[in-house]
């Protein structure tokens, strides 16, 4: 019984981390609608910057998040203006091929430069908060993971308010639903694109900080992570921000339970198995809209 | 683009191709094992890039999981050989099994579009990798699969070259045929194609199976050369993305595109890795990004290159 | 028509010229053998990019710094030419890919005409490279490959220095048995060639020594959430939790182990590099592990090793495989000095038959080329790794239980 509860908690917390990382990608994908293979690099860079600040200057990681957020917002904006817009403005097959080439090329550049500047070896940071212990030690909730979950819940609420109450938020949703239609009603898609990329990149960097606190990083984690998070948001349904959150949590729960009931190998397999099965049964993902 | 009729060349195109082929055939006697290995690696990438392009370029669905056919072919071959099956029979079984796999997944996967399809196929690739790792009783897991026979560079060279030529001929046949035309119509507009009587589902399935065959055949040839495979190598990111990048960079959808892409990137990589002391990967990334930004149709579709290739009859409207 | 014919002819000749030129560029011309070589050429590929870069990406600097040290003394004495010859490394980046490695080793032998080969990083890539050594009969000193399957093939022209991955745990397990306090042990490993080999050997040895193996868990290397394994381990409650993996796996595992309250008497980590110490902070105190060399071992070469590390700008605590590479350098130097010649057959004979005095003790290679360097158990005291065994070499006693 306690094992069940512990598994549930772990699963939800793991899902929270997935959701945090995938949410930014879902935003960018929803608005720009292109395959962005470089997203994981911003997660890695966020984690790296936090590591450098904490390690060399002793800055508390959560304080570092406050510093990182504006920095990566600007970086995201530059990324959109400099590279992504050129790709978004292409059409059809060309757009797909361009998105693969450009974002893959950027990923390789960032990885290599990070390796040359800061070394290719693994980097870890010590950060510990006392866990919440229930049931005389049999159920333990990690405080850092709970914070990550709290973060994503908080961000979701804020973004939800933003999307439903503000003009820019509604404009963003409009572009996600139908780019041309949004243009027709006078939405400045260029501004929306800038804002979204800034936001999405900022969220990736925040996810990176949690990644550093819970795991460890090296310059090459970007690409595999990007592909994994892309799979998560496709599972949840492209264009549905809520879907990426739920998709993340569902995946977290499934992984943890599979690992316990079967074995750790199937834990990693189940993620992609689920993706393939869900897409075959429901091509638009769990919460996506049917494609035209 | 206005299309002036290409002047007919003064000797047939195929003579040019034959000439290149003959040079490659006598190469082992003229140079060292190093050059042989470069050609082998290039042939491997060419087989994967060309076969990818049948679906990726002509049909317009970017199959990021194309390397799965390669990996499954190699593993099937290895498992059969270790079980005592004769080499030829094992090879045939591997190719057949992979083709069957391609046929099975085609209907469900082709219901997806664009980035959904790409990510689903990538998910399939990762699934294969994890399964190869998990089902270690069958595949050897992380320990990998080995075959025990002596290395033979010459044989490997000609097998790779032979397969590359066969793949090239296959894609050429597809591009010249009505089948190929049907595929292109699917890429341009699926609904209109269906309205014109193209049985879209069947065409897409056939395209996937045809693209799986060369990749599946490469599996046994690769294992015979390397004598050892493991999940990370066969289903990993480098094996998956490099041939696709080469095909797209060269010019997806044209026969000569992947060839140009493979040759170009192989040269660039060889030069970068032997001459540059630092930031090689970043330079490669820069090349990719620049091509993506300014020549997304691929090198072959650059106006000066394109017109010259048309004049030499190496490109036909496709 | 005529214009087109000229265009075609131009295409053919240009294409031909280009291909020939390119091939010449790559081959760099076929050199002819001189009577006495002016330097000793050692060829290698290293993972300067790709997934093994974190472990060995800086070792090209290590090679160059060692060459600098040796050349500073005039080089290596070769009796056949009655003089000291300088050492030169020719190193290519294999991108952590076996196909690239095999290709460059072909180049090293046929184009660059090296006298000796140094192996690539990891058993996985070495499997592709070692066939080249046998084919051209050029000896290869395999620095970083210790998987059993390589030695089953009985290659004749290669030697390695470190004993099989299976033996990695022996030093530590024997220490536990001698002390007699540990009764049960649980093994966790990442599913990669090296780690599964070490787990396999460790489980077998533990049972032989009379320890109870309560769990054997293998998880894929990119696993990040270990709740399932940790719950099982909590139920089994072992005295020692033995984690055989690389930092990418170890660090998340250890962090989550503390979070979920797994409390054995001792934790063991297979690769305690600097990153692990930093990531675990004060909790790393008391962590046990193994090394193939540690400061304080009384064997020859420690000062040269320190000098080479300093010149290369490499920190041993961050990249511990550097000591294994240095052992290979020592084997190469002593091999050439003992053989007295650069003739491949003579060198190969010496490599297989002589005894080499290295940083981590004496090495003898068996006929399959397997060396016999074994690991030394260490424990983290005051944030540093200290030798805790074997008895005559221990710098400080083993503190057990070590988990507070």
Q: How far apart are CA B303 and CA C250, in angstroms?
A: 53
Question: CB pairs below 8 Å between A and C: how many?
Answer: 122
Q: Domain residues for A41?
A: 17-220
Copy the structure tokens of residue C143: 């620095």
Whether B180 is in a domain gets the answer yes
pLDDT score of C30: 45
Copy the structure tokens of residue B278: 């630092």
User: pLDDT for A272-286, tens place per residue?
Assistant: 888 888 877 887 778
One domain, residues C53 and C103 = yes
Whether C50 is in a domain gets the answer yes
User: pLDDT for A164-173, tens place per residue?
Assistant: 888 888 888 7
Identify the bridge partners of residue C85 per DSSP, sorted by sequence position: C76
Residue C214 has φ and ψ, to the nearest 5°, of: -90, -15
Q: How far apart are CA A202 and CA A198, in angstroms?
A: 6
Q: How far is A75 from chain C (nearest CA, A)?
A: 26
Strands of chain A, DSSP E:
132-134, 139-141
Whether A237 is in a domain gets the answer no
Chain C residues 24-83 with a CB less than 8 Å from chain B:
26-27, 48-50
Whether A56 is in a domain gets the answer yes
Residues of chain B neighbouring A33 (CB-CB closer than 8 A): 115
Residue C121 has φ and ψ, to the nearest 5°, of: -90, 130
Whether B184 is in a domain gets the answer yes
Copy the structure tokens of residue B77: 């071959």
Whether C66 is in a domain gets the answer yes
- Residue bearing tokens 């080793």: C105
Q: Which of A79, A82, A105 to mutate to probe the B interface, most B CBs <10 Å? A: A105
Q: Domain residues for B29?
A: 13-311
C201: domain CATH number is 3.40.50.2300
pLDDT score of B11: 57
Q: Is B172 on the interface with C (CB under 8 A)?
A: no
One domain, residues C180 and C118 = no
Q: Note whether C247 contacts A126, CB cutoff 8 Å.
A: no
Closest to C399 measured CA to CA, from C287, C244, C296: C287
One domain, residues C282 and C319 = no
| Number of domains forming the structure of chain C | 2
pLDDT score of C2: 44
Nearest to B146 among C103, C107, C149 (CB): C149
Question: How many other C-beta atoms can be found within 10 angstroms of the C-beta atom of residue C348?
Answer: 23
* Longest CA span, chain A: 62
One domain, residues C76 and C113 = yes
Question: How many other C-beta atoms can be found within 10 angstroms of the C-beta atom of residue B303?
Answer: 9
One domain, residues C61 and C116 = yes
Whether C29 is in a domain gets the answer no
Residues of chain C neighbouring A144 (CB-CB closer than 8 A): 259
Q: Domain residues for C247?
A: 167-291+377-387
Q: Note whether B296 contacts A94, CB cutoff 8 Å.
A: yes
**pLDDT beneath 50: ranges in chain B:** 318
Residue C303 has φ and ψ, to the nearest 5°, of: -70, -40
Whether B1 is in a domain gets the answer no
One domain, residues C272 and C359 = no
Whether C190 is in a domain gets the answer yes
**pLDDT beneath 70: ranges in chain C:** 1-35
Q: Note whether A100 contacts B248, CB cutoff 8 Å.
A: yes
SS (H, E, C) B270-299: HHHHHHCCCCHHHHHHHHHHHHHHHCCCCH
Chain A residues 195-234 with a CB less than 8 Å from chain C:
214-216, 218, 220, 224
| Number of domains forming the structure of chain B | 1
Interaxial angle between packed helices C193-208 and C123-136, expressed in degrees from 0 to 180 and rounded to the nearest 10: 100
Q: How far apart are CA A240 and CA A176, in angstroms?
A: 9
Whether B107 is in a domain gets the answer yes
**pLDDT beneath 70: ranges in chain A:** 136-137, 239, 289-292
Q: How far is B69 from chain A (nearest CA, A)?
A: 16
User: pLDDT for C120-162, tens place per residue?
Assistant: 998 888 988 888 898 899 999 998 888 888 888 788 899 998 8
Q: Note whether B33 contacts C110, CB cutoff 8 Å.
A: yes
Whether A227 is in a domain gets the answer no
Q: How far apart are CA C296 and CA A13, in angstroms?
A: 45
Copy the structure tokens of residue B241: 């993305």
Whether C33 is in a domain gets the answer no
Burial A180-214 (b: 16+ CB within 10 A, else e): eebeeeebebeebbbbbbbbbbbbbbbbbbbbbbb
Q: How far apart are CA A38 and CA A35, in angstroms?
A: 9
Nearest to A6 among C54, C231, C276 (CB): C231
Whether A109 is in a domain gets the answer yes
CA-based Rg of chain B, rounded to a whole angstrom?
A: 20
Q: Which of B4, B7, B143, B236 to mutate to probe the C interface, most C CBs <10 Å? A: B143
Whether A1 is in a domain gets the answer no
| Number of domains forming the structure of chain A | 1
One domain, residues C264 and C310 = no
DSSP character string of C263-283: --SEEEES---HHHHHHHGGG
Whether C17 is in a domain gets the answer no
- Residue bearing tokens 């050029």: C138
Question: How many other C-beta atoms can be found within 10 angstroms of the C-beta atom of residue C364?
Answer: 12
pTM to 2 decimal places? 0.89
Q: What distances in angstroms separate CA B183 from CA B1, B172, B180, B253, C181, one per listed residue?
A: 21, 14, 5, 10, 72
Q: Note whether C251 contacts A259, CB cutoff 8 Å.
A: no
B292: domain CATH number is 1.10.3470
Whether C271 is in a domain gets the answer yes
pLDDT score of C22: 64
Nearest to A14 among C191, C219, C225 (CB): C225
DSSP character string of B70-94: HHHHHHHHHHHHHTT--HHHHHHHH
DSSP H or E stretch at residue C92: strand C87-93
Whether A258 is in a domain gets the answer no
Q: How far apart are CA C190 and CA B280, in angstroms?
A: 30
Residue C296's region, left for phi above 0, alpha for psi from -120 to 50, else beta, is left
Closest to A9 measured CA to CA, from A260, A262, A252, A218: A252
Q: What distances in angstroms separate CA A155 from CA A42, A80, A242, one per listed residue?
A: 18, 22, 12
Whether A125 is in a domain gets the answer yes
Dihedral Cα B288, B290, B293, B294, nearest 10 deg: -120
Residue of B nearest to A90 (CA): B296
DSSP character string of chain B: ---PPPPPPSS-HHHHHHHHHHHHHHHHHHS-HHHHHHHHHHHHHHHHHHHHHIIIIII----TTTHHHHHHHHHHHHHHHHTT--HHHHHHHHHHHHHHHHHHHHHHHTTS-HHHHHHHHHHHHHHHHHHHHH-HHHH-GGG-EE--S---HHHHHHHHHHHHHHHHHHHHHHHHSHHHHHHHHHHH-HHHHHHTT--HHHHHHHHHHHHHHHHHHHHHHHHHHHSEE-HHHHHSHHHHHHHHHHHHHHHTTSTHHHHHHHHHHHHHHHHHHHH-SS-HHHHHHHHHHHHHHH-TT-GGGSHHHHHHHHHTT-----
């Amino acid at each position: 019984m306690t094992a069940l509860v512990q598994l549930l908690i772990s699963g939800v917390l793991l899902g929270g981390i997935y959701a945090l990382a995938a949410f930014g990608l879902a935003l960018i994908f929803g608005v720009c609608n292109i395959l962005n293979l470089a997203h994981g690099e911003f997660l890695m860079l966020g984690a790296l910057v936090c590591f450098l600040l904490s390690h060399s200057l002793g800055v508390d990681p959560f304080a570092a998040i406050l510093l990182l957020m504006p920095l990566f917002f600007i970086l995201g904006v530059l990324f959109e203006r400099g590279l992504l817009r050129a790709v978004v403005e292409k059409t059809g097959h060309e757009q797909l091929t361009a998105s693969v080439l450009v974002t893959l090329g950027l990923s390789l550049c960032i990885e290599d430069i990070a390796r040359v500047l800061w070394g290719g070896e693994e980097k870890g940071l010590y950060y510990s908060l006392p866990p919440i212990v229930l049931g005389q030690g049999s159920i333990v909730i990690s405080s850092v993971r709970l914070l990550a979950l709290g973060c994503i819940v908080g961000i979701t609420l804020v973004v939800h308010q933003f999307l439903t109450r503000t003009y820019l938020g509604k404009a963003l949703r409009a572009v996600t639903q139908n780019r041309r239609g949004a243009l027709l009603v006078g939405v400045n898609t260029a501004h929306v694109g800038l804002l979204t990329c800034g936001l999405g990149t900022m969220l990736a960097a925040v996810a990176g900080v949690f990644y550093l606190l819970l795991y460890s990083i090296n310059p090459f984690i970007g690409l595999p992570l990007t592909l994994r998070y892309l799979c998560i948001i496709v599972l949840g349904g492209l264009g549905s921000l809520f879907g990426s959150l739920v998709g993340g949590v569902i995946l977290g729960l499934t992984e943890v339970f599979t690992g316990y009931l079967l074995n750790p190998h199937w834990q990693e397999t189940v993620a992609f198995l689920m993706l393939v099965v869900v897409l075959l049964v429901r091509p638009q993902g769990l919460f996506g809209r049917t494609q035209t | 683009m206005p299309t002036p009729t290409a002047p007919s060349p003064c000797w047939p195109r195929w003579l040019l191709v034959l000439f290149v082929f003959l040079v490659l055939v006598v190469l082992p006697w003229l140079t060292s094992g190093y050059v042989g290995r470069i050609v082998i690696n290039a042939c491997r990438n060419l087989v994967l890039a060309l076969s990818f392009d049948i679906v990726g370029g002509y049909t317009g669905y970017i199959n990021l999981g194309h390397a799965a056919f390669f990996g499954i072919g190699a593993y099937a071959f290895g498992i059969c050989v270790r079980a005592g099956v004769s080499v030829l029979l094992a090879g045939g079984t591997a190719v057949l099994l992979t083709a069957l796999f391609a046929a099975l997944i085609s209907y469900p996967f082709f219901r997806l579009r664009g980035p959904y399809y790409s990510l689903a196929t990538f998910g399939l690739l990762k699934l294969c990798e994890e399964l190869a790792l998990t089902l270690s009783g069958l595949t050897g897991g992380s320990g990998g699969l080995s075959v025990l026979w002596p290395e033979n560079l010459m044989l490997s060279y000609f097998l790779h070259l032979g397969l590359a030529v066969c793949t090239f001929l296959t894609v050429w046949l597809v591009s010249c045929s009505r089948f190929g035309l049907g595929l292109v119509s699917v890429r341009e507009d699926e609904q209109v194609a269906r309205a014109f009587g193209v049985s879209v589902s069947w065409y897409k399935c056939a395209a996937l199976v045809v693209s799986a065959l060369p990749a599946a055949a490469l599996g046994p040839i690769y294992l015979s050369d390397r004598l050892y495979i493991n999940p990370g190598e066969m289903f990993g990111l480098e094996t998956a993305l490099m041939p696709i990048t080469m095909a797209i960079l060269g010019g997806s959808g044209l026969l000569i595109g992947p060839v140009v892409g493979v040759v170009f990137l192989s040269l660039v990589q060889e030069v970068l890795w032997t001459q540059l002391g630092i930031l090689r990967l970043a330079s490669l990334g820069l090349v990719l990004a620049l091509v993506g930004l300014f020549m997304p149709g691929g090198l072959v579709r650059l106006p000066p290159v394109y017109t010259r290739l048309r004049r030499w009859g190496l490109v036909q409207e496709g | 028509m005529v214009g087109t014919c000229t265009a075609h002819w131009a295409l053919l000749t240009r294409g031909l010229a280009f291909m020939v030129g390119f091939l010449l560029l790559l081959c760099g011309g076929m050199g002819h053998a001189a009577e006495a070589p002016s330097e000793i050429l050692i060829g290698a590929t290293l993972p300067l990019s790709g997934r093994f870069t974190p472990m060995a990406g800086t070792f090209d600097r290590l090679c160059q710094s060692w060459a600098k040290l040796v050349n500073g003394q005039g080089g290596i004495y070769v009796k056949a030419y009655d003089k000291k010859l300088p050492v030169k490394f020719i190193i290519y980046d294999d991108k952590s890919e076996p196909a690239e490695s095999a290709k460059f080793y072909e180049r090293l032998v046929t184009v660059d005409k090296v006298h000796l080969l140094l192996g690539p990083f990891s058993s996985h890539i070495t499997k592709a490279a070692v066939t080249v050594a046998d084919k051209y009969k050029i000896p290869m000193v395999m620095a970083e490959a210790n998987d059993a399957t390589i030695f089953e093939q009985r290659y004749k022209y290669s030697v390695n220095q470190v004993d099989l991955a299976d033996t990695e745990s022996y030093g530590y397990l024997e220490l536990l048995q001698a002390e007699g306090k540990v009764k049960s042990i649980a093994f966790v490993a990442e599913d990669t060639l090296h780690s599964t080999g070490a787990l396999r050997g460790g489980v077998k040895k533990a049972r032989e020594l009379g320890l109870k193996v309560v769990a054997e868990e293998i998880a894929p290397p990119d696993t990040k959430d270990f709740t399932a394994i940790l719950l099982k381990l909590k139920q089994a409650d072992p005295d020692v939790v033995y984690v055989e993996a690389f930092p990418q796996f170890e660090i998340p595992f250890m962090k989550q182990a503390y979070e979920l309250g797994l409390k054995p008497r001792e934790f063991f980590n297979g690769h305690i590099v600097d990153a692990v110490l930093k990531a675990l902070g004060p909790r790393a105190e008391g962590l046990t592990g193994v090394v193939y060399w540690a400061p304080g071992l009384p064997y020859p070469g420690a000062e040269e090793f320190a000098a080479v590390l300093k010149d290369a700008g490499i920190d041993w605590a961050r990249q511990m495989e550097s000591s294994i590479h240095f052992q290979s350098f020592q084997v190469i130097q002593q091999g050439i000095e003992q053989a007295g010649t650069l003739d491949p057959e003579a060198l190969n004979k010496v490599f297989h038959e002589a005894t080499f005095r290295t940083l981590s003790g004496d090495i003898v290679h068996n006929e399959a080329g397997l060396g016999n360097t074994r690991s030394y158990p260490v424990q983290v005291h005051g944030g540093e790794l200290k030798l805790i065994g074997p008895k005559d070499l221990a710098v400080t006693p083993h503190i057990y239980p070590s988990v507070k």
